[in-house]
C-alpha cells in the first residue's frame, strides 16, 4: 500500500469521526432541560395551546391535586387541560427547585373562576416528575395562598343561586370537561349580572336594632358623646350585670348611635344627654334562623347580588353598618347585608 493511499484512508477516517462528533454534539444540544419543559408547559397553558408541550407528556402521565387523581393518561390530561384553559388562566412561575431529582414549582395563578371565588391570585406548589424529557407525573402538593373558607362560601352561594334560578346549569361545579367549564362561565356571568328588582330606599329612617355587648376588655366599654369623642359612660360587666343589651339606631364610619336605656341583667343605665356612640368592634348579634332557614347575604342593601349564605344559627356576628331595615355584617370572611329581621341581640336566649 503506497503512502498516498495510506494518507487518504487516514483523512477519510478523520473526516468520518469529525462528522460523528459534530452529530453527537448536535444531538446533545437538542436536549431540553426539565426547567425548559416546565416553562413550556405553563406557556402552553397561558396560550391555551396544548401542542406547545404535548410532546413532553408521557402517555401514562398522572395528574393529581394532593391525593385526588385528576388524570391517569394523556387523553384524560387533555380533557383537564381543555377545562382549565376555558377560564383563561394566567400562570406565573415564581420559583423552580430541584429536590431529590424532582422539580418543585411555586407559581401564582389567576383566572375568571378564581377572581370570583377569592378576589386575589392563588399561589401553590406543584411537584414534577420528569425523566427522558417526558413529564411522568404532576402533583399539586401545597396551597400557599388560598382562602378556602371564603372560596367555599362563594362557590356555595353561586351554586345555590344557579340551582334555584337556572337549574339547566346545575352540576357545573363538578363537571371538569370543556362543556362543564363553559357552563361554569355562564353561571358566573349570570350571577355577577343579576340584580334584585327591589329598589334601594333613599333617605330612609333606620330601623332600631337590639345588639349585645361583646367586648373582651374586662376594664369596661366606653360610651362616647360623639364618634371617637368624649367618654360619657363606661359599662363594666360584673356578677349582677354580666350582660348588656343596647339599641343602636344609626351608623357612622364604624360607630353606632345608641339610645336610652342600656339594659343590664339587673340594672338599667341612662346615657347622659340621652344619646351616645359605641364602636362596632365591641357589639355583636346572633341569627334567628332557628328552623334551619338559609339567610341570604347581599352585596348591597336592597339591591345587588347574593354573595353568601348563613346556613345555620350563627353567634357573635360583627356589625359594620346600618341602612333602613338592613344591617351590614361580617360572617366567615364575607362582609354583606342581611335583613334586620334575621338578627337577634340576645346571646342568652332566642328572639322568638
Cβ 187 vs Cβ 155: under 8 Å: no
CA angle 340, 118, 140 (to 5 degrees): 145
Helix axes 34-47, 74-85, angle to 10 degrees: 50
DSSP summary character for residue 120: S
Q: Which position has the grid cell 425523566?
A: 131
Task: Name every residue whose Cβ is closer than 8 Å to that of residue 133 and which is 6 or more positions away in sequence.
Answer: 31, 32, 37, 56
Q: How far is CA 70 from the centre of its chain?
A: 21
DSSP state letter for 51: G
pLDDT of residue 204: 52
**H or E segment at 22?**
helix 3-30
Decide the pairing of beta strands 343-344 and 326-331.
unpaired
- Residue 198: predicted pLDDT: 39
Question: What is the predicted pLDDT for the residue at 19?
Answer: 56
pLDDT at 182: 95
- 8 A C-beta contact, residue 74 and residue 58: yes
- Whole-number pLDDT of residue 265: 87
CA distance 208 to 250: 8
What span, in angstroms and rounded, lies between the C-alpha atoms of 96 and 99?
A: 10
pTM beyond 0.85: the answer is no
Separation in Å, CA 308 to CA 165, 285, 330: 15, 18, 11
- Listed as ranges, residues in the chain with pLDDT below 70 are 1-29, 194-206, 352
Confidence (pLDDT) at 203:
47
CB distance 109 to 89 below 8 Å? yes
CATH, domain range 34-146: 3.10.450.50
Q: How many CA atoms lie within 13 A of 118 on its CB side?
A: 14
Q: Which residue has the cell 402538593?
A: 141
Instruction: Give the burial string for 243-267 (b: 16+ CB within 10 Å, else e).
Output: ebbbbbeebeeebbbbeeebbbeee
Of 108, 63, 114, which is closest to residue 87 (Cα–Cα)? 114
Give φ, ψ of 326 to 5 degrees: -120, 150
> Which residue from 72, 40, 62, 39 is spatially nearest to 53, judged by alpha carbons?
40
Structural domain spans, the chain: 34-146, 149-193, 209-344
Distance between CA 150 and CA 330 in Å, rounded?
12
Of 71, 85, 183, nearest to 138 (Cα)? 71
Amino acid at each position: 500500500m503506497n503512502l498516498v493511499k495510506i494518507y487518504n484512508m487516514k483523512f477519510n477516517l478523520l473526516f468520518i469521526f469529525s462528522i460523528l462528533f459534530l452529530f453527537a454534539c448536535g444531538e446533545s444540544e437538542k436536549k431540553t432541560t426539565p426547567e425548559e419543559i416546565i416553562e413550556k408547559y405553563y406557556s402552553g397553558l397561558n396560550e391555551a395551546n396544548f401542542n406547545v408541550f404535548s410532546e413532553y407528556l408521557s402517555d401514562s402521565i398522572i395528574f393529581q391535586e394532593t391525593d385526588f387523581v385528576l388524570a391517569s393518561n394523556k387523553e384524560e390530561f387533555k380533557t383537564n387541560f381543555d377545562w382549565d384553559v376555558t377560564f383563561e388562566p394566567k400562570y406565573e412561575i415564581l420559583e423552580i427547585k430541584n429536590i431529590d431529582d424532582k422539580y418543585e414549582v411555586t407559581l401564582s395563578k389567576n383566572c375568571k373562576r378564581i377572581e370570583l371565588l377569592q378576589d386575589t391570585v392563588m399561589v401553590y406548589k406543584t411537584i414534577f416528575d420528569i425523566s427522558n424529557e417526558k413529564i411522568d407525573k404532576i402533583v399539586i402538593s401545597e396551597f400557599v395562598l388560598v382562602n378556602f373558607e371564603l372560596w367555599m362560601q362563594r362557590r356555595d352561594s353561586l351554586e345555590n343561586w344557579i340551582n334555584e334560578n337556572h337549574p339547566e346549569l346545575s352540576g357545573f361545579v363538578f363537571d371538569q370537561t370543556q362543556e362543564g367549564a363553559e357552563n361554569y362561565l355562564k353561571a358566573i356571568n349570570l350571577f355577577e349580572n343579576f340584580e334584585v328588582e327591589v329598589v334601594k330606599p333613599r333617605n330612609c329612617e333606620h330601623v332600631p336594632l337590639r345588639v349585645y355587648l361583646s367586648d373582651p376588655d374586662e376594664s369596661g366599654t366606653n360610651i362616647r358623646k360623639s364618634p371617637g369623642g368624649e367618654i360619657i359612660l363606661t359599662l363594666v360587666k360584673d356578677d349582677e350585670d354580666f350582660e348588656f343589651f343596647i339599641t343602636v339606631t344609626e351608623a357612622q364610619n364604624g360607630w353606632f348611635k345608641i339610645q336610652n336605656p342600656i339594659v343590664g341583667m339587673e340594672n338599667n343605665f341612662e346615657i347622659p344627654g340621652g344619646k351616645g356612640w359605641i364602636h362596632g368592634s365591641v357589639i355583636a348579634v346572633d341569627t334567628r334562623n332557628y328552623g334551619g332557614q338559609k339567610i341570604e347575604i347581599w352585596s348591597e342593601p336592597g339591591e345587588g347580588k347574593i354573595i353568601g349564605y348563613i346556613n345555620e344559627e350563627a353567634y357573635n356576628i360583627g356589625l359594620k353598618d346600618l341602612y333602613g331595615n338592613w344591617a351590614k355584617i361580617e360572617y366567615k370572611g364575607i362582609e354583606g347585608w342581611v335583613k334586620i329581621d334575621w338578627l337577634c341581640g340576645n346571646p342568652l336566649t332566642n328572639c322568638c
